[in-house]
Amino acid sequence: MGDAATKAWMSHEACLALERSTDQRYEWFDGHIYAMAGGTVAHAALAGAIIGELRALSLGCDCLVLSSDAKLRVLATGLATYPDGSVVCGPLSTDPSDANVITNPTLVFEVLSDSTEGYDRGKKFENYQQIPSLRDYVLVSQYAKRIEVFSREGEGQWTLRVAGAGQSVPLTAMAGVIEVDRVYAGIPLTSESRGGAATG
């Protein structure tokens, strides 16, 4: 999540209109908008690497892999945001307010950063859990070779699988695994400042 915008309250429709008029991306929740900030080189490289891995796994199945340009809306809570990437398996469903806003991801991933990790693990994940189609929530560290996958096992139940260097982690959204070393190959990791200015 970026910095809060100056307007105290704004409808989701007005937020969409603002995006169209400014080319700025905003997260919207409960009437408040937040400008989406840029990230580190490691953040961008890891997002691209995960997209590549998911694209390879999607070949041969009815799944569409989307980058951070695709906006996601949680219809149950209203949250509208830009995850670092998402996958939709089967027919695509979109927001009645905007055909470019997806509502039925099967997988969502976020690359963690100092400024967003608490939100990604907490309130944002709580919102994502309200998406009936979501099977996997993937968190990728930019400070160490570490990938976490939260998988829906039942009503309100999520199982966490963690993989580090030399390991792989399975998905439930698609057949296959994410190979940690392949994702991180050639990517210089970010210094773990904790409290620094990294965003993403």
Q: 77-107 pLDDT, tens per residue?
A: 999 999 999 999 999 999 988 898 999 999 9
Domain 40-184: top CATH class: alpha beta
For the chain, what are the domain ranges?
40-184
CA-to-CA distance for 123 and 135, rounded, in angstroms?
Answer: 18
Report residue 103 as tokens: 């509502």
Give the end-to-end CA distance of the chain in Å, rounded to a whole number: 8
Radius of gyration for the alpha carbons in the chain, expressed in angstroms and rounded: 16
Strand partners, 107: 87, 136
Q: 26-77 pLDDT, tens per residue?
A: 777 877 777 777 788 999 999 999 999 999 999 878 899 999 999 999 999 9
